[in-house]
Chain A
């Protein structure tokens, strides 16, 4: 009976269809940012392939905007390493609830951790996602990566057609961190934290110039750990 195949598709394929459906919301948010990233690469003077390789290999949205600026300015690799560590430190926390135990097999586990972005984490840890199969989880991650790589590549190609008189598109990077900061502030409404961070940034700027992140980010981490230690001591006293 030929109709039976359509009525009951093999589970693997059905799961991929579900992954495609799950990915649409994230895709709508990912594609404009990927296009913007590609356009900025096209204006940076770097070769076009930087957009595609960065999207595919680094695959960490906000960090890629920063690394783009850093490599354009020939930043030392140590600064790139420290910045990557601090910007993506939040991912350490994702292991506590990401369903990696349902992603069987070493290659799938390696890929699934490699592509464990904020978006993948948000989608796979919700209440609806508690029964998702390996195919649905990994398929979703692959789709998000495909959207990101494709939109960055389209952006870098399209960006080369923007007239030279159009300037100041790189403001998008400032705006990105500004709104991410405002969203992070809304969660905790902690006043001293951002003020200390601003002080770290200004000291870093004066003492290290363009390499300010090498000082500012570790100084912030040191402050937070000291604050934690003082608080813990307070509890035990």
Chain B
């Protein structure tokens, strides 16, 4: 298990970087208003970042195992629910329930 100094370090670093991103722009607001790059990045980055993070969260899934099949079915459930209902909470909850039921009962491998 990670030790406490490491955990606190991780906490301070992620909080520090986040606060910097939230507070610093107010200090350089006029160059920021003139910038075209910043709005471009703000508009184009999220979809790519989320794609990378989604793949990151499945980096250790073994797609040839039964658990891998459960994972794929849960991903399809989430996508289907989200296309259908457009509700973030419903999609996450539905996909997770399908995954939990499958890996806790039939697709345990």
Contacts and interface: CB of A to CB of B under 8 A. Distances in A.
Nearest to A45: B1
12 contacts: A54-B11, A77-B13, A80-B14, A81-B13, A91-B25, A114-B22, A165-B104, A169-B100, A175-B74, A179-B91, A196-B48, A224-B45
Interface string A180-224: 111111011010011011101110110000101100110011001
Contacts of A178: 50, 54, 75, 78-79, 82, 91, 95
A148 to B, nearest CB: 14
A91 B24 CA distance: 10
B48 A224 contact: yes
Given A45-B1, A57-B11, A87 B44 contact: no
Contact of B52 (A74, A91, A217): A217
A94 interface: yes
A59 B108 CA distance: 35
Counting from the closest, the 3 A-B pairs by CB-CB distance are A181-B50, A197-B48, A95-B25
A175 B7 CA distance: 25
Contacts, number: 250
B104 A168 contact: yes
Contacts of B59: 205, 210, 212
B23 to A, nearest CB: 4
Interface of A: 29, 32-33, 36, 45-47, 50, 53-54, 57-60, 62-64, 66-67, 69-72, 74, 77, 80-81, 83-96, 100, 110, 113-114, 116, 165-169, 171-185, 187-188, 190, 193-194, 196-198, 200-202, 204-205, 210, 212-213, 216-217, 220-221, 224-225, 227-228, 232
Contacts of B12: 57
Nearest to B83: A182
A179 B92 contact: yes
B47 A74 contact: no
Nearest to A93: B42
B29 A95 contact: yes
Contact of A63 (B14, B92, B102): B14
Residue in B48, B71, B93, B96 with the greatest tally of chain A CB atoms within 10 Å: B48
A178 B62 CA distance: 19
A205 B49 CA distance: 15
B52 A216 contact: yes
B10 A29 contact: no
Given A171-B95, A202-B55, A184 B46 contact: yes
A30 to B, nearest CB: 10
Contacts of A220: 45, 48-49, 52
A174 B74 CA distance: 10
Contact of B48 (A100, A194, A232): A194
Residue in A45, A60, A181 with the greatest tally of chain B CB atoms within 10 Å: A181
B105 to A, nearest CB: 9
A86 to B, nearest CB: 6
Interface in B27-69: 29, 32-33, 36-60
Contact of B13 (A45, A80, A180, A221): A80
Contacts of A190: 44, 47
